[in-house]
Amino acid sequence: MANDHRRTDAGLAQEALLDDAGFLRGIVQRVVQEVLETEMTEHIG
């Protein structure tokens, strides 16, 4: 019974994320920017 409840919650979360097309794009952009800044800082010294 609890398993069905979690499955419903996961389904609702998935629907919410799919409704926001820019959600994943924003996360990826922030992560890539952070990686690039870190690499540049390490390269420059």
Please report, in tens digits, the pLDDT of each residue of the chain (45 residues total): 456 666 788 888 888 778 887 888 899 999 999 999 999 999 998
Torsion of CA 17, 22, 23, 26, to 10 degrees: 170
Residue 31 lies in a domain: yes
Residue 6 lies in a domain: no
Distance (Å, whole) CA 26 – CA 4 = 31
- The values of phi and psi at residue 21, to 5°, are -65, -30
Distance (Å, whole) CA 17 – CA 23 = 7
Residue 9 lies in a domain: no
Residue 3 lies in a domain: no
Number of domains in the chain: 1
pTM over 0.75: no
- Give the pair of three-digit tokens for residue 26: 């924003």
Residue 1 lies in a domain: no
Domain extent for 38: 21-45
Distance (Å, whole) CA 39 – CA 11 = 37
Distance (Å, whole) CA 22 – CA 40 = 27
